[in-house]
Amino acid sequence: MKEILPGVFHWKTFHEGIQAYVHSYYLNTTDPPVLIDPRVPGQGIEWFAVHGAPAHIYLTNRHHYRHSDRIAARYGAQVWCHADGLHEFSYGEKVRSFRHGRMLPGGVLALRVGALCPEETAFHLPLHGGILSIGDAIVRAHGRLGFVPDAYMGDDPEAVKRGLRTIFLKHLREREFDHLLFAHGAPWIGDARAGLEKFLAHGASAARPPAPRAAKTGRK
């Protein structure tokens, strides 16, 4: 667990279901504290009790439910996913829907990404010069930004990439941010806006891929 900005914490854990490390975030500078794409950290679930019980859990897409059930059961946190991803939760999970463009509790703005899947969402937080949290749309490996491999992009990978570039260029025009949080890859703290702009403008080969998305039984 590392505090990457005041009140913004990052950690990575090994996801057995997909055989890869994934990244999660906790913020207690928001009111109330929130989590993004969480798994239980190595410090254990009680770590949050010391730093401020999370009230809300935000998923960048339906595949990132991860340990949300455990955390929600312990703290009574509300789990949120875009409405287009709710079909994934058919086993009694208590997940509330949102629409893109909605301001969520804690001052978290849900931004449309789509392209990869209808519910793909980026979260914008007006903290520390602005933070943008990204799910599967853009990954970071060995310090480089990239897209997931073509095999995970459906029948027309180039169209998906064009769609992702278009929507993130729009967010660059409309939102202020200086930091990027990734579900797959280490966060980029400071000057991240310029890095994203360069990547989108010039393109890049896909970064080292994360493992394939987990099946329903592997998310947890």
Give 60's pLDDT tier (boundaries 50, 70, 90): very high
For 96-160, the DSSP string reads EEE-TTPEETTTEEEEE--SSSTT-EEEEE-STT-EEEESSSSEEETTEEEPPPGGGSTT-HHHH
> Terminus-to-terminus CA distance in the chain, angstroms?
20
Confidence at residue 10, expressed as pLDDT on a 0 to 100 scale: 98
Give 203's pLDDT tier (boundaries 50, 70, 90): low
Confidence at residue 118, expressed as pLDDT on a 0 to 100 scale: 96
Answer whether residue 80 shows pLDDT above 90. yes
Give 220's pLDDT tier (boundaries 50, 70, 90): very low
The region of weakest confidence among 58-62, 156-160, 213-217 is 213-217
Q: Which domains does the chain have, with CATH numbers?
A: 2-218 (3.60.15.10)
Return the closest-CA partner of residue 189 out of 29, 2, 34, 1.
2
Confidence at residue 208, expressed as pLDDT on a 0 to 100 scale: 42
Give 219's pLDDT tier (boundaries 50, 70, 90): low
Alpha carbon distance 177, 171 (integer Å): 10
Confidence at residue 202, expressed as pLDDT on a 0 to 100 scale: 82
* Radius of gyration for the chain, computed over Cα atoms and rounded to the nearest angstrom: 16
What are the backbone dihedrals phi and psi of residue 71, each rounded to the nearest 5 degrees, phi first?
-70, -40
Answer whether residue 162 shows pLDDT above 90. yes
Answer whether residue 206 shows pLDDT above 70. no
What is the average pLDDT across 24-44? 98
For 107-121, the DSSP string reads TEEEEE--SSSTT-E
What is the average pLDDT across 42-55? 98
Alpha carbon distance 99, 40 (integer Å): 27
| Percentage of the chain exceeding pLDDT 90 | 90
Alpha carbon distance 152, 162 (integer Å): 15
Answer whether residue 72 shows pLDDT above 60. yes
Confidence at residue 207, expressed as pLDDT on a 0 to 100 scale: 44
| Percentage of the chain exceeding pLDDT 70 | 92
CB distance 121 to 82 below 8 Å:
yes
Return the closest-CA partner of residue 66 out of 42, 43, 36, 44.
36
User: Would you mind telling me the total number of residues written for the chain in this entry?
Assistant: 220
